[in-house]
Chain A
Amino acid sequence: MYGMLNEGIRSFITDNHGPEAWQRICESAGLDQLEFERMSSYDDAITYKLIEAICRFTGLPLTEVMDIFGRYWVEFAGASHFGNLMRLAGNSFIEQLKGLDDMHDRILLTMPHLKPPSFEVDQKDDGSCILHYYSEREGLAPMVIGLLHGLAKETGERIEVSQVAVKSEQFDHDIFEVRILDKAPNPTSTEAGI
């Protein structure tokens, strides 16, 4: 993973628990560094070890930690220069969801070692949608749930997510069902006709 992600984790911990906590977490993860270069690529194992150490530190289960971090990430990454890439995809949750692949692709142009996720959206007539999540990595589905909530928060919407299929040896990706509870006020509709 790119250092940016590990830096996101660091900022998440120092914001919520302070710098000493971060130091203890790094020690418990067996790392000899406390900071990461955002634009350098690191072994995925570092990220996994950090997340495990956070579980030990907070006493929370893995899925919860990943969910919380997912929500935080959208805020953190959205505040970075890449945030505009996300917003370029559109104003609503659904539009941005559809733009995620393009966005990660564009990031790939500056982070050539990125192994981005890929999402595919099937919209259903009742307004809900089926989201397919493809990844070269394992075990990140709980984070995606947090990410989706985070994304919805950015556009001022509220959603409900449930995982309906789990990646396994027989099945190559995870599937989520996303229900949109509150739609964002759409600025263009109020100005219709002008």
Chain B
Amino acid sequence: MTASKLDLTGKAIDMLFPMHVVLDDRGRIGGLGPTLERVLGTGVLEADLFDVFTVERPRNVRSMADIRERLGTKLVLRAHLQDGAPIQFRGFALAAADEEGIFLDLSFGLHLSQVVERFGLTEADFKPNDFSIDLFYSFEAQRTLLEDSQKMASALKAAKIEAEKKALQDPLTEIANRGALHRRLEDVLHLPDRGQMFALLHIDLDEFKSINDNFGHSAGDMILLQTAEAMTSFCGPNDLPARLGGDEFALFLAEPPDKEELHAMALRLLNAIAMPIRYNGHSCQVTASIGVVLFHPGQVQNADRLIAHSDIALYDAKTTRSSVKLLSKEMIRRHEETSRLISLIERGLKLSQFVPYFQPQIDSMTGGVCGLEVVARWQTEKEGVLPPARFLETATRANIMSEIDRQVRCKAFTHFAEWKSDGKDIGKLSLNVTASNLRSEAFAAILQTELADAGLTPGDIQLELLESILFDQSDQELIAQCRNLEQAGFALALDDFGTGHSSIATLIETPVATLKIDRSFVSGLDRNPKMQRIAGAMLAMAQNMGLDVLAEGVETREELEFLENCGCRLFQGFYFSPPLSAVEIRKWLDVWAPDLKRVTA
């Protein structure tokens, strides 16, 4: 049997074509498949096809005749339901067996998903070999995946924006960080209009560390926040406040006022920063300094240079204690000079140009040399031998003073060991010690190693502490370090006694064996009764405490004799000898002996 002989029952037709439409010769809807009936309702029966559907494609199909012309080709139809969105169908038309009517077989088009949901269709509503319902599920899955990936994409995007923001923001104060300021300054420096002026204020909190030390880090953080807030309150829409790190801030001003007003504004900013805050019932407060640079695009090559310039002005403000300083050519010149000096010092270190000079210390009772104080000298190629005044401050600021000290010390140790083994009776080698030496835990160990390398022991050494180091008697750490050194066998002396402010209590706590009376109490002493009384009192006190006293800066015989009469027996000064190089002092030691006769005579 061939298909043409097949005569299908109505039930079979409904099953095979659940979405068919039967049209009579005038185009009226005579019958609907069961699924289509559910969707369109029985109300459309007997209605004209074109009242229920429009044919979207091909275009211009508006009559039964148009449809008859396109039998067997693809049609796209749209049904307009009274209640709700239109539904698209795809299908094709066939001539019915009677040749009069038309049989339309449809399936859902575009709106498959919506229709399935809207009418609660299930697999049973589709013909068994129709794939549509599977499509529905795969669309659902696809939609979920798409939504997920869109959510993910926007989450990623938000995260990226957030990360970019963070990268340019200081996490604590939430103002810009150094990177963001840098970017802004680069932009401004590259603007074409060189006539425009901008300002950069470089702000540094004074002694911020002591807030952290005394009140804890959260108090410190509050101060930093307050500073950021104060800066922000001075900002216009195009200005940028930034934290450069630690207690260092900067404020970029896009439209700065004239110099005077700018200065006044900086002072107002300082006042705002210095407002005291309450923390745990305490009031804490910091002052600050500001370095200001006024600049125009192209003035310096890059942002780093500009920030370095504002830093120079800031440094000047700090060192002159003048709170606000506008950068001047003179400051830049000084800065460049300092940089040059630093590189010369560094070169000097490499070439081992730092050497010890020795000044003898004399015991007038025995006439012998009781010690040699080491002082540093810089043997330059062009300017000859330079005293510490020419390099100390710069080297300290550049953090290279300890290297210089070490170079000088090691050479001094070698000479001293040599003279001792030559049989010279020269007492102790006296070294100056700084506060940072004392604070460094490694210092004692380094010293011991250097001594051992030279064949010396701590017993050969006297360490001279500046009186100002011990000013703060509450600095138990320093005092403990002094005790350690004494235990290790070093003798301790207090340098420049009388100029600092050590209390008697400090003297009791610190294991000092010798006091060195500062030269200011010695020069001219023989002619000044008031000084004589002070010197006398100091000596009496030292004697009572069982301390040795050494008078520095003795230049005349009268001074020497006066002090001897007051009971002083240790001396140092030009009267005996200025500081001398190793070669010179070696000679001096050889000729010194005769003079001893003077003292004992």
B109 at interface (Cβ–Cβ under 8 A)? yes
Known A39-B146, A105-B110; contact A120-B153, beta-carbon cutoff 8 A: no
A109, CB-defined interface residue at 8 Å:
yes
Is B259 part of the contact surface with A, judged by Cβ < 8 Å? no
Bound together, the chains give a CA A108 to CA B57 distance in angstroms of: 16
- Which residues in A have their C-beta under 8 angstroms from that of B58? 120
Q: How many A-B residue pairs have CB under 8 A?
A: 20
Q: How far is the CB of B452 from chain A (nearest CB, A)?
A: 65
Please tell me if the beta carbons of B153 and A109 are within 8 angstroms of each other in the complex.
no
In the docked arrangement, what's the CA distance between A118 and B109, Å? 16
Question: Is B150 engaged at the interface, CB distance under 8 Å to the other chain?
Answer: yes
From known contacts A37-B153, A39-B146, A109-B139, infer whether A118 and B110 are also in contact, taking CB-CB under 8 Å: no
Find the A residue at minimum CB distance from B146.
A39
Q: How far is the CB of A20 from chain B (nearest CB, A)?
A: 17
- Which residues of the other chain, B, contact A108 by a CB distance below 8 angstroms? 110
Q: Which of B57, B149, B153 contacts A101 (CB 8 A)?
A: B57
Of residues 93 through 113 on chain A, the ones whose CB sits less than 8 Å from some CB of chain B are 101, 105, 108-110
Query: B139 contacts which chain A residues (CB < 8 A)?
Result: 109
Given contacts A109-B110, A109-B139, contact A120 B150 (CB under 8 A): no
Name, among A37, A101, A108, A109, the residue most crowded by chain B CB atoms within 10 Å (CB to CB).
A109
Give the Cβ gap from B70 to chain A, nearest Cβ, in Å: 13
From the candidates B59, B109, B110, B150, name the one contacting A39 in the complex (CB within 8 A).
B150
Q: What is the bound-complex CA distance between A118 and B149, given in angstroms?
A: 30
Closest to A33 in B: B157
| Contact pick for B57, options A40, A109, A118, CB 8 Å | A118
**Chain B residues, CB < 8 A from A134:** 59
Is B448 part of the binding interface, using a Cβ–Cβ cutoff of 8 Å? no
Q: Does B142 contact A (CB under 8 A)?
A: yes
Which A residues, 117 to 165, have Cβ-Cβ distances below 8 Å to chain B?
118, 120, 132, 134
- Chain B's interface size range is 10 to 19
Please encode chain B, from 70 to 114, with 1 for each CB lying within 8 Å of some chain A CB and 0 for all others.
Answer: 000000000000000000000000000000000000000110000
Name the residue on B nearest A37 (C-beta).
B153
Quote the shortest CB–CB distance from A21 to chain B (angstroms): 21
Are B142's CB and A110's CB within 8 A? yes
Interface range on chain A (Cβ under 8 Å from partner): 10 to 19
Whether the pair B150, A40 counts as a contact (CB closer than 8 A) is: yes
Residues of A within 8 A of B142 (CB): 110
Residues on A with beta carbons closer than 8 Å to the beta carbon of B109:
105
Most A C-beta atoms less than 10 A away, residue of B110, B142, B149: B110
Q: How far is the CA of A118 from the CA of B58 in the complex (A)?
A: 10
Which of B59, B110, B146 contacts A120 (CB under 8 A)?
B59
| Interchain CB contact under 8 A, A37 and B150 | yes
Assembly CA distance A120 to B70 (angstroms): 15
Closest CB-CB distance, A157 to chain B, in whole Å?
24
The smallest C-beta distance from A54 to any residue of chain B, in angstroms, reads 25
> A105 vs B112: C-alpha distance in the bound complex, in angstroms?
13
Q: What per-residue 1/0 map shows which CB atoms of B130-156 lie under 8 Å from chain A?
A: 000000000100100010011001000
Q: How far is the CB of B148 from chain A (nearest CB, A)?
A: 12
B56: nearest chain-A partner, CB-CB: A118
**Closest CB of chain B to A88's CB: distance in Å?**
15
Interface hits, B345-368 → A, CB 8 Å: none
Residues of B contacting A105 in the complex (Cβ-Cβ under 8 angstroms): 109-110
Task: List, in ascending order, chain B residues with CB within 8 A of A37's CB.
Answer: 150, 153
CA distance A105 to B150 in the complex (A): 22
Indicate with 1 or 0, residue by residue over A59-87, a CB within 8 angstroms of chain B CB atoms: 00000000000000000000000000000
Q: For residue B149, which residues in chain A have a CB less than 8 angstroms away from its CB?
A: 39
- Name the distance in Å between A33's Cβ and chain B's nearest Cβ: 10
Tell me the nearest residue of chain A to B109, going by C-beta. A105
Q: Which of B41-64 contact A (CB under 8 A)?
A: 57-59
Bound-complex Cα distance A120 to B74 (A): 13
Which residues from 127 to 183 on chain B have a C-beta closer than 8 Å to any C-beta of chain A?
Answer: 139, 142, 146, 149-150, 153
In the complex the two chains form, what is the Cα distance from A40 to B110 in whole Å? 19
CA A118 – CA B76 in complex, angstroms?
12
Complex CA gap A120/B109 in Å reads 19
- B residues sitting closer than 8 Å to A (CB atoms) are 57-59, 109-110, 139, 142, 146, 149-150, 153
- A contact set with B: CB distance below 8 Å: 37, 39-40, 101, 105, 108-110, 118, 120, 132, 134
- 7 interchain pairs, CB-CB under 8 A: A37-B150, A39-B150, A40-B150, A101-B57, A109-B139, A120-B58, A134-B59
17 further interface pairs, Cβ-Cβ under 8 Å (given A101-B57, A108-B110, A120-B59)? A37-B150, A37-B153, A39-B146, A39-B149, A39-B150, A40-B150, A105-B109, A105-B110, A109-B110, A109-B139, A110-B142, A110-B146, A118-B57, A120-B57, A120-B58, A132-B59, A134-B59
